[in-house]
Amino acid sequence: MDVKPIQQVTVKEITGSGHQKCYLNVDVMKVYSIKVASFVCLRMDNREYICQVWPQSTVTEHMIKYSPNVYRKQTSHPKTSSYNSICNLKLLRTFEAEIINVSLIVSSIEKLSNVRRNFQRNPSGIENMCKNLMYKLCVSQGYTIDLEELDLAKLYGVSFIEVSSCNNDGFVIVTQKTKIYIEDIKCKEQFEQLNSVEYESNLVGGLDSVIKELEDMIMTSISISKTVRHFRLPKGILLRGPPGTGKTSVVNVVARKCKAYLITINGPEVFGARPGDTEENMRHIFEKALTISKEGRCVLFIDEIDAICPRRWKSGDAQESRATSLMLSFFDRIASCDGIIIIGATNRPGEMNPALRRPGRFDKEIMVNFPSHSQRTEILRVHTLKFDTFGDLDLDRIAALTNGYVGADLAAVCNEAAYIALMNHTGQQLPKIETDHFLTAVKKVQPSVQKGGDITMDLRPVAWEDIGGLQLVKLKLQQAVEWPIVHPEAFERMGLPCPKGVLLYGPPGCCKTTLVRAAATTCGATFLAVSGAQLYSPFIGDSEKIITEVFHRARAGAPSIIFLDEVDSIVGKRGDSTSQRSVQERVLSTLLNEMDGVGIRLDEKRDSSNLNKVPEGHTPESNTVQVVERSEVSNRNILVVAATNRPDMLDEALTRPGRLDKIIYVPPPDTEVSPQ
């Protein structure tokens, strides 16, 4: 029987009690024909509680006092003392329970081992204990009993009891004749994590392939059957990639989807002040993971693992060496355990101890790299779900302007757009966010990969119309710079090679730099400029390191344009210096290697295994499905543009085909161009 909802009622929880009671005003009970000691279901804000109704004179007509001990399975029932709400009451028809299957949740890991041991020796004793704790309670399938305030439950070390199923689908009362069967025993920590706020997989956009790969590996490694024990499946997975790409979020989502208990270790948190504290902290976490893995799936996630296990030659700290040895021994220990898997995450894989990356430890490595155009669109879509937008947002346009932005940067763009909309809004209602707000936010939020250095320059927008004359130079520059970035499919379809580099030469003051800025503005490319003052350093090796960093940032923010202004002052001809190994020669050698792709690091490579490329002139197989994604092509474009007024000072190796293979002369203005 449904009861009319009570509007604007003040709901108060009864704390510190283990009973299942609800107190109403006497007049309210008469109006709604509610009998004393009858059971009702309270529904408030998508939460349901089963209570036994009793009258109380101190309760007003617009007040309800209730005990939240038996509630519908949810994250965590509210702990607030009072709040205004609309409460729906439903009278329940109850029966005596015959059979109830439950899951037992104990208070701690230590108690979990004892209860499991006692349950194996005497299962009926543990089941009778549950019956005593549930006696006279009204329950139903899917409900949870909170026993943390009950003294008898504290004595037994029991925190919660989950009702898995009953003898019927209705509401039943536990009696002495009820048979209780225990299906599972978990610790409180594991229960609270698995029943936390539903972390839906679509809240992490653009990483579906990584989530699917990680989920398949975890389910295969953990759910291995006895018939295939002679196969050694991966027990360790290493997630590597730049900061902010979503490595931690991916692990949280996968653990939720696999219904595995997640134990997280943040690198610096395990270190102790005294000798031996670090090993003790790690040993305690490892034992906890092994205990939980005996009854269910367990994922041990080690974030910033390079801080715990650095390269031995990088650190002379004996504490870190002992931590590394303990980590290696734990890998060997879990080789025969089926319920546990270790996931590490790092943005500096080269700083890790190489012993961890051999087969048998971190067997599988998954790259979580910078998102492509389609992935950025999906990330923006996920983050804008919580916004009240005006019409349809042009997410494809926003994604095209955010090359090199990781997931954290895109989240910052969304928050900045919401802030801009709020500051420009004067009404009482929440503002609607438009595409223009996002376009303004993109200009204010700098991608994290471009922070921490002086290489990236702010690109002041320059249009082709702002440059007078030079029509032939503009056309050549558009063909060499803009067209390969904006129309990469056309070049690939016709088999045309894209220029690897462009050299602009001409007298000083002929707007060579302005032309490059206009080309970068039109195609929306990341613009990085390098000058001799930024490049050279008094320390040996710093100049070469800066060149490598420039190309690393260019690959991250592709499509990118690397502009080398006054290139003759950065790299000159070899053999012109008095020193046999001059700085310019080393910088030139590094630049040539980076332009040829020899200097690319392994952790910069993007996973392109899903792309099935067919050489020009060959016919693909009939059963092969060709999937061409524009972002996958354009994001690989890195163009080097150099400018000089002394082309004779450049080394011949720099101007050969395959490097600066497009040479454009920028003439001084003549009598026709000067008025423009």
Burial of 4 (0-12, 13-18, 19+ CB in 10 A): exposed
Q: Is position 670 within any domain?
A: no
**Alpha-carbon distance values, 430 to 387, 390, 411, 420 (Å):** 10, 12, 19, 12
Q: Distance between CA 670 and CA 668 in Å, rounded?
A: 6
- pLDDT at 581 (0 to 100): 52
The one-letter code for the residue type at 367 is: M
Residue span of the structural domain in which 530 resides? 464-601+629-665
Domain total in the chain: 5
Pick 267 or 201 by higher pLDDT. 267
- Within 10 angstroms of residue 218's Cβ, the number of other Cβ atoms is 22
Query: For the domain that residue 597 is a member of, what is the CATH number?
Result: 3.40.50.300
- pLDDT at 316 (0 to 100): 55
Name the nearest CA neighbour of 14 among 60, 68, 93.
68
Task: State what percent of residues in the chain have pLDDT above 70.
Answer: 82
Q: Are residues 205 and 172 part of one domain? A: no
Query: For the domain that residue 187 is a member of, what is the CATH number?
Result: 3.10.330.10
Helices 407-423 + 435-444 axis angle, to 10? 120
- pLDDT at 339 (0 to 100): 81
What band does 600 get if pLDDT is binned at 50, 70 and 90?
A: low
- pLDDT at 102 (0 to 100): 94
Q: Are residues 148 and 253 part of one domain? A: no
- The residue among 175, 194, 213 that closes a domain is 194
Q: Are residues 103 and 86 part of one domain? A: no
Name the nearest CA neighbour of 215 among 254, 261, 252.
254
Q: Is position 617 within any domain?
A: no
- pLDDT at 289 (0 to 100): 87
- pLDDT at 519 (0 to 100): 84
Beta bridge mates, 47: 44
User: H-type helices in 401-527, by residue range?
Assistant: 407-423, 435-444, 471-477, 483-486, 488-494, 512-523
What band does 73 get if pLDDT is binned at 50, 70 and 90?
A: low
Q: What is the pTM of this model?
A: 0.75
- pLDDT at 251 (0 to 100): 92
Q: Distance between CA 370 and CA 635 in Å, rounded?
A: 10
- The residue among 33, 57, 92 that closes a domain is 92
Indicate the range of 23-37, 126-140, 412-426, 570-584 predicted with least confidence: 570-584
- pLDDT at 492 (0 to 100): 82
Q: Are residues 355 and 246 part of one domain? A: yes
Q: Are residues 307 and 240 part of one domain? A: yes
Q: Is position 483 within any domain?
A: yes
Beta bridge mates, 104: 161, 185
Three-class DSSP labels, 424-453: CCCCCCCCCECHHHHHHHHHHCCCHHHCCC
pLDDT tens digits for 616-651? 344 444 443 333 333 333 335 688 889 888 888 888
Q: Are residues 439 and 390 part of one domain? A: yes
Contacts of 227 (CB under 8 A, 6+ apart): none
Pick 375 or 584 by higher pLDDT. 375
Contacts of 238 (CB under 8 A, 6+ apart): 305, 343, 344, 345, 346, 349, 356, 357, 362, 364, 365, 366
User: Is the per-residue pLDDT at 574 higher than 70?
Assistant: yes
Q: Is position 608 within any domain?
A: no
Q: Is position 58 within any domain?
A: yes
Q: Are residues 586 and 477 part of one domain? A: yes
Chain centroid to CA 196: how far? Answer: 18
Burial of 172 (0-12, 13-18, 19+ CB in 10 A): buried
- pLDDT at 171 (0 to 100): 93
pLDDT tens digits for 505-557? 988 888 888 888 888 878 777 778 887 777 777 778 888 888 888 887 787 77
Q: Are residues 106 and 82 part of one domain? A: no
What band does 50 get if pLDDT is binned at 50, 70 and 90?
A: very high
Q: Are residues 634 and 512 part of one domain? A: yes
Q: Distance between CA 440 and CA 445 in Å, rounded?
A: 9
User: Is the per-residue pLDDT at 325 higher than 60?
Assistant: yes
Residue with tokens 């906890």: 288
Average of pLDDT values for 112-131? 89
pLDDT tens digits for 465-494? 878 778 888 888 888 888 887 787 888 888
**Alpha-carbon distance values, 151 to 65, 159, 439 (Å):** 22, 11, 59
Residue with tokens 């943040």: 266
Query: For the domain that residue 75 is a member of, what is the CATH number?
Result: 2.40.40.20
- Within 10 angstroms of residue 459's Cβ, the number of other Cβ atoms is 17
Average of pLDDT values for 291-313? 83
Chain centroid to CA 249: how far? Answer: 3
- pLDDT at 77 (0 to 100): 42
Task: State what percent of residues in the chain have pLDDT above 90.
Answer: 14
Q: Are residues 401 and 547 part of one domain? A: no
- The residue among 73, 92, 111 that closes a domain is 92
**Range with top average pLDDT, 371-380, 476-485, 577-586:** 371-380
pLDDT tens digits for 3-22? 556 655 778 888 766 678 89
- pLDDT at 130 (0 to 100): 93
Q: Are residues 205 and 189 part of one domain? A: no
Residue-wise over 474-511: b if at least 16 C-beta within 10 A, else e?
bebbbebbbbbbbebeebeeeeeebbbbbbbbbeeebb
Q: Distance between CA 262 and CA 284 in Å, rounded?
A: 15
Query: For the domain that residue 439 is a member of, what is the CATH number?
Result: 1.10.8.60
Q: Are residues 477 and 418 part of one domain? A: no
* Tokens representing residue 543 in the block: 């100049």
Beta bridge mates, 158: 106
Q: What average pLDDT does the chain have?
A: 79
Q: Is position 207 within any domain?
A: yes
Helices 583-596 + 542-556 axis angle, to 10? 20
What band does 607 get if pLDDT is binned at 50, 70 and 90?
A: very low
The pairing of beta strand 63-66 with beta strand 21-24? antiparallel
Q: Is position 285 within any domain?
A: yes
What band does 235 get if pLDDT is binned at 50, 70 and 90?
A: confident
Q: Is position 621 within any domain?
A: no
What band does 76 get if pLDDT is binned at 50, 70 and 90?
A: very low
Length of the chain (residues): 676
